[in-house]
Amino acid sequence: MRMHFFLFITIIGVYGYSQESRFGIRSIEQNNGLSTTFSSYYDFGYNLGFDISAAYDPHLFMLRANIGGEVEILSLALNQYYNLNFMYGREYTINDWLVLEGFIGVGYVNFSKENIDTNWLRVENQAVNVPITLKVLFVNSKVFSMGLNTTIDLNSFQILYATNLVFQFKFR
């Protein structure tokens, strides 16, 4: 009986270990950058994002929380947005120090606008969001990478563009 119990515990341990090596939390990221909607030439804004990604063999799954906004200088407009996205992607290693990651997904976006045209009342739009992301990462060590993240968020009311500086900490 002890032998069967020992084999059962050993098999469960090996099976659990092999499952952990296939699926698990891969990395966390923090993104700082600029965003725009290209609605006029004088728009600029901030973008702040947090990502957590998981890996299952070559497949990457990412959950992104993002806030941003822009100020239009000439009309004194203030646009703000936040979104939450679930994305699927892949990683392509170019060489020892350069990695490309591409993602596409679906999410939710809330976009609000205040300006003189709306009598400074807040006009909000909420919609389903389709984000497309490309990351160029420079590998600094086994666990840390820096790079650029370019994102286009497609939705029904305003296309959002963002370019960020990425700080990525990898667990595996």
- What's 122's domain CATH number? 2.40.160.20
Is 41 a member of any domain? yes
Is 14 a member of any domain? no
113-154 pLDDT per residue, tens: 887 666 777 788 899 999 999 999 999 998 999 999 999 999
Is 94 a member of any domain? yes
Inter-residue contact 122 to 113 (CB < 8 Å): yes
Q: Does position 41 have pLDDT exceeding 90, yes or no?
A: no
Q: What residues contact 115, with CB distance under 8 A and at least 6 apart?
A: 72, 75, 76, 77, 78
Q: Does position 16 have pLDDT exceeding 50, yes or no?
A: no
The total number of structural domains that make up the chain: 1
> What is the pTM (predicted TM-score) of this model?
0.79
Average pLDDT, rounded, for the chain = 84
Is 5 a member of any domain? no
Residue-number span of the structural domain to which 96 is assigned: 25-170
Q: What is the token pair recorded at 143?
A: 């666990």
Q: Does position 10 have pLDDT exceeding 80, yes or no?
A: no
Is 88 a member of any domain? yes
Is 8 a member of any domain? no
Is 4 a member of any domain? no
